[in-house]
Amino acid sequence: MPASGNTYITTLKRAHLKWGSHRHTNSRGTVYGEGYLHIPRPIARQFGVYNSNHQSANIVYNCNSIDGFLISETLKASGSSIAGDVYAKQFQGNGNLQLLGDWFNHLNAQVGDRVEITWTSPTDIEIELI
């Protein structure tokens, strides 16, 4: 489980900003406005950020953005870079895949922008476009 003070920075790519429309799969139709934050596998391993394949792990995190747009929202750690892996590869809105897309839009985030993700407790994170 992540500890207070754990932090990492991710660089936004087109897929992060346009997840629902810039896809390399036909598993579902196009959905505009979706977004996610990448969790590099080494960070997931180091901090203990798991997905639902890990039966006893916390996968839902309370989230605030430094700019005040996101207040007491929830993000879910999900996905895996290897089938069946227990380490999460992304944060997405918990039940709202457009949550981060709305935040990106609010900030006019662009490809190449960087986001800092910081744990303020094992279950709380703050995100900031830097």
14 falls within a domain: yes
2 falls within a domain: no
15 falls within a domain: yes
61 falls within a domain: yes
pLDDT of residue 83: 85
* Exposed/middle/buried for residue 127 (C-beta within 10 Å: 0-12, 13-18, 19+): buried
Model-level pTM? 0.86
Report how many domains make up the chain: 1
Quote the CA–CA distance of 130 and 127 in Å, as a whole number: 9
80 falls within a domain: yes
Q: What is the pLDDT of residues 69-107, one digit of tens each?
A: 999 999 999 998 888 899 999 999 999 999 999 999 999
51 falls within a domain: yes
* Residue ranges making up the domain that contains 94: 7-129
Q: Is 20 helix (H, G, I), strand (E, B) or coil?
A: coil
Q: What is the pLDDT of residues 16-69, one digit of tens each?
A: 887 654 555 555 455 567 899 999 999 999 999 999 999 889 999 999 999 999
Tokens in use for 6?
A: 């754990």
84 falls within a domain: yes
CATH number for the domain that contains residue 15: 2.40.330.10
